[in-house]
Amino acid sequence: MANTIEVDGKQFTVDEEGYLADLNDWVPGVATVMAGQDNLELTSEHWDIINFLREYYAEYQIAPAVRVLTKAVGKQLGKDKGNSKYLYSLFPYGPAKQACRFAGLPKPTGCV
């Protein structure tokens, strides 16, 4: 049986690891609800990364590995944010895995 999460009264299908089945279904509420399940409250810093990931995916059709994400974030959002300490402070379950899940992307390629 497929798993679902409820966002604003609407059901969204997710896979067994909690990633959204169809990224075209994504609405910002998905991220908010998923974060709530992980006991996180999303701040504008979180949204910067989530939006960054969605843009990266739109351009390259993959979710970046964490090493690549770190470097790219540093370039785009400033060196102080392009390090794994900062990203882990926002996404304690792993910036690539957790942030990609909130962003509605599949699990990142090269993620161990």
Partner 1 sequence: MSEIVKKFLYLNRRAPYGSIHAWEALEVVLIGAAFDQDVSVLFLDDGVCQLIKGQDTKGIGMKNFSPTYRTLGDYDIRKIYVDRVSLERRGLTPDDLIEIAGEDPETEEEIENLVEVIDRARVSALMNESDAIFSF
* By CB under 8 A, residue 23 contacts partner 1: no
Smallest distance from the beta carbon of 48 to partner 1, in angstroms? Answer: 19
Q: Which stretch binds partner 1 (CB under 8 A): 7-15, 19-27, 61-69, 94-102?
A: 61-69
Q: Which is nearer to partner 1, 12 or 57 (CB)?
A: 57
**3-state SS assignment for residue 94:** coil
Contact 5, 14 (CB under 8 A): yes
CA–CA separation, 83 and 94 (whole Å) = 12
Catalytic residue among 29, 32, 111, 112: 111
CB-nearer residue toward partner 1: 10 or 71: 71
In the annotation, is 111 catalytic? yes
Tell which residue, 17, 19, 20, 42, has the closest CA to residue 32. Answer: 42
In the region spanning residues 72 to 111, those forming contacts with partner 1, defined by CB under 8 A, are 72, 109-110
Residue ranges of the alpha helices (H) in the chain? 28-37, 44-60, 66-77, 84-90, 95-102
Question: How far apart (Å, rounded) are the C-alpha atoms in residues 53 and 61?
Answer: 11
Give the footprint of partner 1 on this chain (CB under 8 A): 59-62, 64-65, 67-68, 71-72, 109-110, 112
